[in-house]
Amino acid sequence: MDQQQYSELCRSTCLALEIPDTECLTNEGFLFIDDIRIQMMFDDVFSNDCILCIIDIGEIPSFLKEKIFESLLMLNFLTGGKTTGVYAIDPISQRASFVVTLINPDSLSASDLADLLRRYANRSLQLQKTLFKNGELSLPLDSDVEAPNSLNVKFHLA
């Protein structure tokens, strides 16, 4: 994928999401779905075979910081992977994020990307409702992902 193809995918995705400013991803690098900030990054020189998506989960309440860090690490253990996404803390803002690398963006249609971004925003909203209440995951979330048997836990994620 080159920069022109990426820009066209961004514009078409904004249209599919019914976002009035169809240039927001190309010009600013982010958009909002249900008040969830989703940043997309693409570099056609160094990594033209992937798009990085950073989905904001939100500000971490200081009194829950340790519990939330523990829960995010557990989520990474159970679901983490470059293409399935990982949970992180932005080192500057200290906000929780969900980070996904979309491999082979040439194969993505605008409607597919729009659907993915909607699901990522929904996951963020679910985590805000559960994780930030008491620092622990209140289950279920979206779709079934089984934990290793030794943990005897079942998580539901998108």
130-157 pLDDT, tens digit per residue, is: 887 766 655 445 443 332 333 333 334 4
CB atoms within 10 A of CB 51: 22
Distance between CA 24 and CA 20 in Å, rounded?
Answer: 9
Amino acid at 51: I
Residue 27 pLDDT level (bands cut at 50, 70, 90): very high
pLDDT at 37: 97
Look up tokens 């929904």; give the residue: 122
Interval 106-133 mean pLDDT: 91
Q: Is pLDDT of 84 > 80? A: no
Average pLDDT, the chain: 82
In the structure, what pLDDT confidence band is assigned to residue 114 with cuts at 50, 70 and 90? very high
Owner of token pair 């990594």:
47
Helix or strand run (H / E) with residue 51: strand 47-59
pLDDT for the residue 135: 60
CB 40 within 8 A of CB 10: yes
| Structure confidence at residue 65 (pLDDT) | 85
pLDDT, tens digit (0-9, with 9 covering 90-100), for 32-59: 999 999 999 999 888 889 999 999 999 8
53-77 per-residue burial string, b: 16 or more CB within 10 A, e: under 16: bbbbbbebeeebeebbeebbebbee
- For position 8, what pLDDT does the model report? 96
Q: Which of 75, 99, 95, 97 is nearest to 85 (CA)?
A: 99
Report the share of the chain in percent with pLDDT over 70: 82
What pTM was computed for the model?
0.81
Classified as helix, coil or strand, 107 is helix
| Fold of the domain spanning 3-157 | Yope Regulator; Chain: A, (3.30.1460)
Q: Where are the alpha helices (DSSP H) in the chain?
A: 3-16, 24-27, 65-79, 110-134
